[in-house]
């Protein structure tokens, strides 16, 4: 359901559809959707203006206990009827506000994204930024893990997993996609067609347009649904709906979904290639007569993104697991270069559509583990900085980078090798994010500190299971 423009539209739908519950949602700092619910009769027009209070001290990366009160303010046009709850429930995304000043909370990721859109307009470069993320995921039948002082393990399983080709399944019918050969096989090798179609149709029913769905490259149930591109904030909103629907449809079928970038060793990981373009007065600013049909502004934007990519990756590839995907040989774009068609470059200019409307470039580094509001905003800020400072992206690299001679390949800059390295780049290079007060020093510092304290250091301190294979007999 879509088409909400005002508080009156929402309230009218609640009455017409006999909605019983209103679910209010927002994103925490690292990137997980949070929610609480109220009886439908508690929602009125004042709620949309004044908001509702909640405790912000329990939300990851937010307030201290002595300043915990926060306000959620529902956004009418984000409303949809939830397709999963037993009792009829209307869901709305919310902005977060300070209860004293009424101003937007600077650590609210959606606030950062809204400011990024406003900043683009203020520069005169464009009035609209379009983003098109392609988020891959795995559908597993079982996922178990544990970590304590004397043991640690994970175990994942899928009926499609090639590792089950010899399992006694009474009977085992085969049809397990080979490693790196899961792209586009028809059923019965593709056992997830009906589940993906259900995901696609549920997304469309709540106003998220989908262009295609298909199996992905890896064995073990890797999939992708392609949403239609949209403006920055709306696309980030829709990506949250995408993750929510995909996970809950899988749950209906007693399966589980993970957007973890690299859950399976020795096979392709899950990326989230992101297409981007800037528009002004209905014209695509990236369309022109330069390389691959790009404008000079688009090439400068690529220059900015290439220059700042190591910092942007702190948001777009924000987990320690992200850098287990960014390794050569698995279609992962580890080379900071641009090219038409060449998928081994981190920025690609798609060539299957050459019209003005379709012209854009694709940033291939990101993965779906992060906070889309911050990822899209960081990409926008890097591209704007490139245009403002006329950053030359250099020559395109139209060769297979993996086949270059070692001496030539060594000259191509690489992505950071770890989350720690990306965070250190962000610490040194974030002035471009502060323009227009889009990101603040507090947001950047809190992001770095949170990631270091809660992810990088805990991983560093724990023995890895493979270390026992390497060192236990020393």
Alpha-carbon distance of 199 to 202, in angstroms, equals: 5
Residue 49 annotated to the active site? no
Confirm if 414 and 336 have CB atoms less than 8 A apart: yes
For 25, the token pair is 């949602």
Is 25 catalytic? The answer is no
Strand residue runs (E) in 259-342:
272-280, 283-284, 335-340
Active site residue 117: no
Concerning whether 364 is annotated as a catalytic residue, the answer is: yes
Question: Using CA atoms, how far apart are residues 151 and 58, in angstroms rounded to an integer?
Answer: 29
- Distance, CA of 310 to CA of 424 (rounded, Å): 9
- What are the backbone angles phi and psi of residue 111, rounded to the nearest 5°? -65, -40
Mark whether 17 is an active-site residue. no
Of the candidates 224, 237, 267, 297, the residue annotated as catalytic is 224
The DSSP H or E segment spanning 444 is: helix 441-451
Q: Which of the following is catalytic: 17, 55, 431, 453?
A: 55
| 224 a catalytic residue | yes
Give the active site residue among 362, 367, 385, 455: 362
Name residues whose C-beta falls within 8 Å of residue 328's C-beta, 6 or more positions apart in sequence. 334, 402
Rama region for 155: left / alpha / beta (φ>0; ψ in -120 to 50; rest): beta
Alpha helix stretches (DSSP H) within 102-228: 109-123, 193-205
Residue 210: phi, psi to the nearest 5? -120, 135
Residue 362 is among the residues annotated as catalytic for this protein:
yes
Catalytic, out of 28, 82, 95, 134: 134
Compute the residue count for the chain: 474
Query: Which one from 95, 108, 117, 136 is the annotated catalytic residue?
Result: 136
Out of 95, 108, 216, 267, the active site residue is 216
**Beta strand 128-140 with 89-97: parallel, antiparallel or unpaired?**
unpaired
CA–CA–CA angle 97, 101, 103 (5° rounding): 40
Cα gap 361→229, rounded to integer Å: 13
| Annotated catalytic residue, options 364, 420, 425, 430 | 364
CB–CB of 339/348 below 8 Å? yes
Q: How many helices (H) and strands (E) does the chain have?
A: 14, 18
- Catalytic entry in 343, 398, 421, 424: 343
Distance CA 474, CA 465 (A): 15
How far is the C-alpha of 434 from the C-alpha of 440, rounded, in Å? Answer: 6
Active-site hit among 73, 114, 215, 273: 273
Enzyme catalytic residues? 55, 134, 136, 216, 224, 273, 343, 362, 364
């Amino acid at each position: 359901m879509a088409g909400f423009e005002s508080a009156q539209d929402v309230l009218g739908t609640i009455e017409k559809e006999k909605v019983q519950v209103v679910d209010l949602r927002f994103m925490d700092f690292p990137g997980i959707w949070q929610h609480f619910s109220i009886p439908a009769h508690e929602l009125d027009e004042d709620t949309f203006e004044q908001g509702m209070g909640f405790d912000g001290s329990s939300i990851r990366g937010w307030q201290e206990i002595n300043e915990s009160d926060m306000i959620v303010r529902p956004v009418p046009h984000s409303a949809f009827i939830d397709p999963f709850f037993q009792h009829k429930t209307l869901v709305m995304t919310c902005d977060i506000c300070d209860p004293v000043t009424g101003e937007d909370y600077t650590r609210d990721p959606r606030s950062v994204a809204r400011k990024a859109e406003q900043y683009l307009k203020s520069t005169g470069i464009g009035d609209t930024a379009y983003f098109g993320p392609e988020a891959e995921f795995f559908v597993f039948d079982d996922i178990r893990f544990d970590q304590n002082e004397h043991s640690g393990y994970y175990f994942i399983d899928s009926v499609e997993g090639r590792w089950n080709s010899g399992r006694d399944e009474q009977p085992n019918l085969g049809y397990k996609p080979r490693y790196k050969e899961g792209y586009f096989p028809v059923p019965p090798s593709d056992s997830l067609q009906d589940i993906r179609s259900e995901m696609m149709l549920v997304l469309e029913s709540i106003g998220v347009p989908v262009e295609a769905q298909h199996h992905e490259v890896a064995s073990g149930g890797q999939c992708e649904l392609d949403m239609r591109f949209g403006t920055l904030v709306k696309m980030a909103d829709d990506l949250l709906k995408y993750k929510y629907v995909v996970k809950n449809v899988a749950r209906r079928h007693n399966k589980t979904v993970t957007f973890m970038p690299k859950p399976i060793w020795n096979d392709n990981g899950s990326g989230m290639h992101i297409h981007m373009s800037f528009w002004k007065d209905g014209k695509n600013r990236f369309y022109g007569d330069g390389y691959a049909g790009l404008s000079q502004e688009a090439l400068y934007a690529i220059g900015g993104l290439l220059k700042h990519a190591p910092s942007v990756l702190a948001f777009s590839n924000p987990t320690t697991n992200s850098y287990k995907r960014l390794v050569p040989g698995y279609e992962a774009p580890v080379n900071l270069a641009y090219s038409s068609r060449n998928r081994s470059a981190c920025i690609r200019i798609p060539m299957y559509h050459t019209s003005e409307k379709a012209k854009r470039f694709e940033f291939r580094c990101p993965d779906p583990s992060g906070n889309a509001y911050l990822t899209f905003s960081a990409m926008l800020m890097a591209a704007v900085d490139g245009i403002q400072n006329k950053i030359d992206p250099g020559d395109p690299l139209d060769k297979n980078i993996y086949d270059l001679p070692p001496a030539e390949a060594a000259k191509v800059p690489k992505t950071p090798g770890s989350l720690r390295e990306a965070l250190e780049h962000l610490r040194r290079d974030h002035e471009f994010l502060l323009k227009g007060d889009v990101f603040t020093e507090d947001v950047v510092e809190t992001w770095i500190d949170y990631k270091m304290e809660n992810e990088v250091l805990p991983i560093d301190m724990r023995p890895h299971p493979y270390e026992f294979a390497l060192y236990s007999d020393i």
